[in-house]
A = this chain, B = another copy of it.
Amino acid sequence: MFKDLNPLLHSELRLAIMSLLLSAEEADFVYIKEQTKSTAGNLSVQLDKLSSAGYIKIAKGFIGKKPNTSCKITNAGRVAFAEYVDALKSYIIPHP
């Protein structure tokens, strides 16, 4: 009746990050922080979790002299997101 909701994606901030990366294909820390209106600490933690799960790939480098953290969604991330959305439907679509 109700499909399990992947707990890694069932989090407001992580879901927003994934949603952003799905559309943007690539985004850096500062941009994600702005778009999601999150704090740096929270964002740092949640990006790590998504990265550890293999849902995103994080590349650290510099732009000029400033450190830059760039994120990309992986294929596994895309699949997990699609599955999550599918599972959500079992909750939000009326059961006749």
Residues of chain B lying within 8 A (CB to CB) of residue A12: 2, 4-5, 7, 10
B16 touches A94 (CB 8 A): no
Copies in the complex: 2
Contact code string A28-58 (vs B, CB < 8 Å = 1, else 0): 0000000111000000000000000000000
Residues on A lying within 8 angstroms of B by beta carbon are 1-2, 4-5, 7, 10, 12, 15-16, 19-20, 22-23, 35-37, 85, 88, 91-92, 94-96
Can you list 21 residue pairs at the A/B interface with Cβ under 8 Å? A1-B35, A2-B12, A2-B19, A2-B35, A2-B36, A2-B37, A4-B12, A5-B12, A7-B12, A10-B10, A10-B12, A15-B91, A19-B91, A19-B92, A19-B95, A20-B95, A23-B94, A23-B96, A85-B92, A88-B88, A88-B92
